[in-house]
Amino acid sequence: MSMKKPTTIKIPKGFFFSTAEAAIKKPGRKDFGLIFSKVESAVAGTFTTNTVKAAPVRICRQKIRSGRGQAIVVNSGNANACTGRQGLKDARDIVSTVSDQLGISSSLTYICSTGVIGALLPMQRIIPAVGPLAGGIGKASLEDIAGAIMTTDTFPKMASRQIKINNRQCIMAGVCKGAGMIAPNMATMLCFIITDIAVEKKALHASLKSAVNKSFNRITIDGDMSTNDTALIMANGLAGNQPLTGSSTDFSVFQKALDELTYELSKLIVRDGEGATKLVEILIKNAHTDAEAQKAALAIANSSLVKTAIYGNDANWGRIMAALGYSKAKFDPDKTDIFFNRTQVVKKGVMNNRDKEASEAIKTKELKITADLHAGSASAKVLTCDLTEDYIRINAEYRT
């Protein structure tokens, strides 16, 4: 799927970037990145709920308790997952080497990895690359970071927002990567958000958690949840505003900007789903409970049969009814309405004789499927994509 040209990305005050080549999976690209704030920052994070957690995730989860940080080092090509004690040691060695070069405490450096699971990091190539990486601070752009963390992504993913807090111009920017193993919660998804807004630790965490729940936790490509999912936010306060707490007047402005930013980034991930040709929004209306609304939306979004029908431009609503039926949401099939964009294809559980309009609707590159269950007043929205031969090709050949 082709990329939508991003609008110019604004960078918050005091953040600098660097990338280097560590030839982790293979030589020829910058696969090692560093985000650095010139001052210590508040940091918050959310992580995969997979029982199998990669070494960098285990380390970040410990560090994040302090709520403080100044640098994030990241590599693609190797997830450093299922690598046991050696994997933990390797991640700690990278953190301490980077911190030494930057002249900051190890406790302020976070680490993330993405790529193949189960292989040890090539430390003999990574450690020598730390010098050039730390030495190159300020020589790379946020787009370079977005490029360094790509795996099967086909385009770099960035977004930014400019907002006023306490009458000061503030900036919030983010990069992320996705492409495969994307499912609630979070995905083989890395997301780094940086801002010059001053935010108290507790408010920062609550705000990130809320934003992630409405964005990265509501997207699915293949239903597979990764071992490495991480979203980190660094707020260095250089905009000079009064530090925001949950009760600040402008907190809602901050939350809204973060919600928008993470939603925009999560949409880019789905748009770039492995092999995807279409972006699909699943909206469940009038479910009995929120949990059931989400189950129903995910059942449709993860159905291989629904996704292949969409790919094939087949307005096969029967597969949607079947997915709703096994979703464990309570509803009466005979009351259910289904829409493809604005075309109602199912009325009270049976076809509405709109085949021609439905066939047109399903050809759109951005399809919205709405199922109204008439069982309550809860709703849920999930973003997904179609399932194509290219998904198979990419994943059958990914490691070899």
**Residue 141 interacts with a copy of itself (CB under 8 A): yes or no:** no
Select 127 or 321, whichever has its Cβ closest to a copy of itself. Answer: 321
How far is the C-alpha of 134 from the C-alpha of 19, rounded, in Å? 9
Q: Three-class SS of residue 320? A: helix
Q: How far is the CB of 288 from a copy of itself (least distance, A)?
A: 12
Q: Are 27 and 35 contacting, i.e. CB atoms less than 8 angstroms apart?
A: no
Rg for the chain, CA atoms, rounded: 22
Q: How far is the CB of 393 from a copy of itself (least distance, A)?
A: 7
188 catalytic residue (yes or no) = yes
**Residue 98 interacts with a copy of itself (CB under 8 A): yes or no:** no
**Residue 308 interacts with a copy of itself (CB under 8 A): yes or no:** yes
Binding mask 367-386 vs a copy of itself (x if CB under 8 A, - otherwise)? --------------------
Query: Which residue reads 């309550």 in tokens?
Result: 376
DSSP state string for 85-150: HHHHHHHHHHHHHHHHHHTS-GGGEEEEEEEESS----HHHHHHHHHHHHHTTTSB-HHHHHHHT-
Select 130 or 329, whichever has its Cβ closest to a copy of itself. Answer: 329
The interface region with a copy of itself, picked from 36-44, 97-105, 113-121, 163-171 by CB under 8 A, is 113-121
Burial of 104: CB neighbours in 10 Å, binned 0-12, 13-18, 19+: middle
How far is the C-alpha of 107 from the C-alpha of 292, rounded, in Å? 41
Query: Which residue reads 């709405």 in tokens?
Result: 370
Catalytic residue among 188, 227, 262, 343: 188
**Residue 223 interacts with a copy of itself (CB under 8 A): yes or no:** yes
**Residue 81 interacts with a copy of itself (CB under 8 A): yes or no:** yes
Select 118 or 131, whichever has its Cβ closest to a copy of itself. Answer: 118
Residue 66 sits at φ, ψ, to 5 deg, of -70, -25
**Residue 55 interacts with a copy of itself (CB under 8 A): yes or no:** no
CA 199 to chain centre: 22
Q: How far is the CB of 338 from a copy of itself (least distance, A)?
A: 10
How far is the C-alpha of 200 from the C-alpha of 238, rounded, in Å? 13
Exactly one of 3, 39, 291, 392 binds a copy of itself (CB under 8 A); that residue is 392
**Residue 363 interacts with a copy of itself (CB under 8 A): yes or no:** no
Query: What are residue 232's DSSP bridge partners?
Result: 45, 192
Closest-CA residue to 21 (of 158, 195, 140):
140
Kindly identify the residues of this chain, within the stretch 177-196, that bind a copy of itself according to CB under 8 A.
Answer: 180-181, 183
The interface region with a copy of itself, picked from 89-97, 133-141, 230-238, 311-319 by CB under 8 A, is 311-319
* Token representation of residue 53: 């957690």
The interface region with a copy of itself, picked from 32-40, 100-108, 260-268, 297-305 by CB under 8 A, is 297-305
Q: Which residues are catalytic?
A: 188
Which residues of this chain interact with a copy of itself, rule CB under 8 A? 49-53, 79, 81-84, 86-87, 116-119, 180-181, 183, 222-227, 302-305, 308-309, 311-314, 316-319, 321-326, 329-331, 333-334, 346, 348-351, 387-389, 391-393, 395-400
